[in-house]
């Protein structure tokens, strides 16, 4: 089974500072990788995804993530945090081959943005 | 397009009662999923379906049942509600055959069992 580890259940940054949310996966074959954002009392919204094309993936709201096979990582970054970025972020993995119909999620990281 | 629609949004059940969480999608996606979300635990897969008439267990299926009679609908049934089933439930869909590798989520159903 695949697993996803998100380091840090809570991350706090100042407005304008770099955002870095960490995600590592365990899989013998490069999977599909996703970052989702969840605002309070809402569903999950896709930020970006990696599906074996470019290793640097750009998403919505200025977020990007880099797939590093050697490190089995898919960390999420944003150069300058905005107050509206405060939310919970989930890393997820699916694929490949016969198992691509299941999504496995990390435990989430709550991002707090200080004024 | 409405996307993935879940009803109800909130529900309080007494121990031992039963209920069905409804999920429908209008995107003609083959794959559908039920997840539960508990604080600090992320999302855990309860059941999934790869098409009408085909369902399979996920990571935490005990206490739940599903059916998939149409492409659009994927209801989740709780037969004997227990406090451990207090959670937020999300339905999702995807369609990898059309390059839609990501999951599209509904807004969730917040269930409390007392």
Mean per-residue pLDDT, A68-95: 94
Provide the Cα torsion B70, B5, A61, A33; round to 10°. Answer: -40
Give the span between the Cα atoms of B108 and B8, in whole angstroms.
8
Query: What does the pLDDT look like over A1-50, one tens digit per residue?
Result: 668 999 999 999 999 999 999 999 987 677 789 999 999 888 999 999 99
Answer whether A42 touches B (CB < 8 Å): yes
Task: Count the Cβ atoms, other than its own, within 10 Å of residue B77.
Answer: 14
Q: What is the mean pLDDT of chain A?
A: 90
Give the span between the Cα atoms of B114 and A69, in whole angstroms.
46
Q: Check pLDDT > 90 for residue B8.
A: yes
Q: Check pLDDT > 60 for residue A98.
A: no
Q: Check pLDDT > 60 for residue A100.
A: no
Taking CB atoms and an 8 Å cutoff, what residues of chain A touch B45? 102-104
Answer whether A101 touches B (CB < 8 Å): yes
Strand partners, A22: none
Percent over 90 (pLDDT), chain A: 71
Answer whether B60 touches A (CB < 8 Å): no
Q: What's the pLDDT band for B112 if we cut at 50, 70, 90?
A: very high
Residues B96, B99, B101, B106, CA torsion sign: negative
Query: What does the pLDDT look like over B11-36, one tens digit per residue?
Result: 999 999 999 999 999 999 999 999 99
Q: What's the pLDDT band for B97 if we cut at 50, 70, 90?
A: confident
């Amino acid at each position: 089974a695949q697993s996803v580890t998100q380091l840090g259940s809570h991350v706090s940054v100042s407005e304008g500072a770099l955002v870095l949310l960490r995600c590592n996966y365990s899989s013998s074959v490069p999977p599909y990788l996703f970052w989702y954002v969840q605002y309070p009392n809402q569903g999950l919204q896709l930020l970006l995804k990696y599906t074996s094309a470019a290793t640097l993936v750009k998403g919505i709201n200025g977020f990007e993530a880099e797939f590093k096979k050697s490190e089995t990582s898919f960390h999420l970054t944003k150069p300058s945090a905005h107050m509206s970025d405060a939310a919970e972020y989930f890393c997820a993995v699916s694929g490949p081959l016969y198992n691509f119909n299941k999504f496995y999620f990390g435990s989430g990281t709550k991002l707090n943005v200080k004024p | 397009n409405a996307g993935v629609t879940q009803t109800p949004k909130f529900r309080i059940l007494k121990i031992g009662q039963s209920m069905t969480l409804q999920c429908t999608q209008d995107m003609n996606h083959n794959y559908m999923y039920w997840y539960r979300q508990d604080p600090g635990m992320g999302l855990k897969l309860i059941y999934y379906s790869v098409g009408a008439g085909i369902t399979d267990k996920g990571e935490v299926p005990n206490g739940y049942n599903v059916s998939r009679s149409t492409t659009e609908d994927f209801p989740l049934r709780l037969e004997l509600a227990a406090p451990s089933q207090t959670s937020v439930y999300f339905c999702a869909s995807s369609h990898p055959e059309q390059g839609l590798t990501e999951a599209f989520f509904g807004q969730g159903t917040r269930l409390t069992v007392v």
